Amino acid sequence: MMESSLYIHIPFCISKCAYCDFFSKPYEAVPDSYIDALCNEIDFRISEYNIKKLKTIYIGGGTPSLLTENQLKKIFSKIKSSVKLAFDVEITIEVNPDDVTETLLRALFDCGVTRISCGIQSMNDAVLKKACRRADVQTNKNAMEIISQKWKGEVSYDLISGLPGESEESLITGLKELCLYKPDHISLYSLTIEENTPFGKQFAAGNLDYDFDYADKLWLAGRDFLEAQGYKWYEVSNFCLPGKECRHNLVYWNHGNYIGCGSGACGTVYKPDGSGFRWTNNSDIDEYIKVQNGQPPQSSENIELETSQFEFFMMGLRKTIGISEKEYKEIFACDLPEKFLSLFNAWKEKGLCTLTQDGRYAMSREGMLFLNRFLEELF
């Protein structure tokens, strides 16, 4: 494999947010022993899959902004000594507002980071408190101010619509504040109440009053506001200024190869016929740290052709530009399935799908809200 993308997982948080279903453990600091094991895995994966060049890198978590300057340098030194980076490589790292300092931003820029993704989530103190966020509104504002003045690369902000206690007025007010800083990219996620999270447990016990229809209404109001501000809606939950899409996430949505490193990280590589192989690293951090040479403990699966084809539609139709026959043919060496075309045309009659002028198959503006139902009918 000549070219790939790299995802690095930093599974440490000072505290857990009430909505979060990502793998992370409560730690005050990232152990150096974890960085050593991570560098070992980066070496192993790049060699194992014969990767010659990385086009995007994404460091997520957890809380990657807990990494020290020396730990950051060690990770990037290992990457750069192991593999070539594309001349226009996109390197993103997630940061928490309460970790943002001029010193951190300088360290990230010096390491070659080109893009930061900052989790604001809400600009309402009562909402942030209920969600168990470390940062309050003032901390969020301070972070955005420092980023605006001192950060030289691209910036993305995350918000979650529908958090308990959020109103349409407070959501739009928060988005207005974000837009004052003219970020390149905004992710507006609709809250999903996951079973094993604090919100999920509160909801199951009847202790969280939650109106799903109102939450949907909030997200739609947020979408409409962002579009009115000149942000292009390019994926289910993502908006950007022209040309500022997250190229790393497009790798997932475009059925591309990516290497996952770190405890709990996932990676996927595809074969010439379109089938693939996926691994997920063990989420036992102590076990992960023990491996200093070779492959960390992982579970793996072969992705059969039919599963791979389903994932092509599942991920590709998340994009507002949808998919094309050419893209499908390049991956699977065959035409789009008759079942897809038949269902697409039936939904097109109802105004829920659209065939673009350049021949792309996409969900319509309204149809995007029913994507899951379309996929259920397709497979």
Q: Where in the chain is the domain with CATH 3.80.30.20?
A: 3-251
Q: What is the pLDDT of residues 51-65, one digit of tens each?
A: 999 999 999 988 999
In this prediction, residue 2 carries a pLDDT of: 79
Check if the beta carbon of residue 297 is closer than 8 Å to that of residue 306: no
Q: Please indicate whether residue 19 or residue 306 has the higher confidence score (pLDDT).
A: 306
The Cα 94–Cα 121 span in angstroms is: 13
Q: List Cβ neighbours of 310 (8 Å cut-off, separation of 6 or more).
A: 375, 378, 379
Do the bridges between strand 84-95 and strand 115-121 make them parallel or antiparallel, or are there none, so unpaired? Answer: parallel
Element holding 270 (H helix, E strand): strand 266-270
pLDDT above 70 covers a percentage of the chain that reads 95
Tokens of 307: 């599963």
Q: What is the pLDDT of residues 165-213, one digit of tens each?
A: 899 999 999 999 999 999 999 999 987 767 776 676 775 677 667 777 8
Check if the beta carbon of residue 235 is closer than 8 Å to that of residue 186: no
Q: State the pLDDT confidence band at 37, using cuts at 50, 70 and 90.
A: very high
In this prediction, residue 179 carries a pLDDT of: 97
Q: List Cβ neighbours of 57 (8 Å cut-off, separation of 6 or more).
A: 5, 6, 7, 8, 79, 85, 89, 90, 91, 92, 248
Whether 87 shows a pLDDT value over 90: the answer reads yes
**Three-class SS of residue 4?**
strand
Q: Report CA Rg, the chain.
A: 21
Q: What is the pLDDT of residues 233-251, one digit of tens each?
A: 999 999 999 999 999 999 9
| Bridge partners, 12 (sequence order) | 25
Q: What is the pLDDT of residues 297-346, one digit of tens each?
A: 999 999 999 999 999 999 999 999 999 999 999 999 999 999 999 999 99
Residue-by-residue DSSP string for 177-234: HHHHT--SEEEEEEP---TTSHHHHHHHTT-----HHHHHHHHHHHHHHHHHTT-EEE
Check if the beta carbon of residue 261 is closer than 8 Å to that of residue 69: no
Check if the beta carbon of residue 192 is closer than 8 Å to that of residue 219: no
In this prediction, residue 307 carries a pLDDT of: 96
In this prediction, residue 22 carries a pLDDT of: 64
Q: State the pLDDT confidence band at 163, using cuts at 50, 70 and 90.
A: confident
Average pLDDT over residues 251-276: 96
Average pLDDT over residues 2-28: 81
Task: Return the closest-CA partner of residue 313 out of 245, 359, 376, 268.
Answer: 376
Burial class of residue 50, CB neighbours in 10 A (0-12, 13-18, 19+): exposed
Q: What is the pLDDT of residues 88-135, one digit of tens each?
A: 999 999 999 999 999 999 999 999 999 999 999 999 999 898 787 888
Angstrom distances, CA of residue 38 to CA of 15, 48, 258: 22, 15, 16
Residue-by-residue DSSP string for 67-133: S-HHHHHHHHHHHHHHSEEEEEEEEEEEE-GGG--HHHHHHHHHHT--EEEEEEE-S-HHHHHHTT-
Q: List Cβ neighbours of 21 (8 Å cut-off, separation of 6 or more).
A: 192, 194, 196, 197
Distance of alpha carbon 114 from its chain centroid, rounded?
16
Whether 148 shows a pLDDT value over 80: the answer reads yes
CATH classification of 3-251, choosing from 3.40.50.1100, 3.80.30.20, 2.40.50.100, 3.30.2320.20? 3.80.30.20
Please, what is the Cα angle at 160 between 25 and 156, to 5 degrees? Answer: 85
Task: Return the closest-CA partner of residue 83 out of 111, 109, 55, 64.
Answer: 55
How many helices and strands in the chain, by DSSP H and E?
14, 16
Backbone φ, ψ for residue 74 (5° rounding): -65, -45
Q: What is the mean pLDDT of the chain?
A: 93
Q: Please indicate whether residue 28 or residue 286 has the higher confidence score (pLDDT).
A: 286
Average pLDDT over residues 336-365: 96
Average pLDDT over residues 149-160: 96
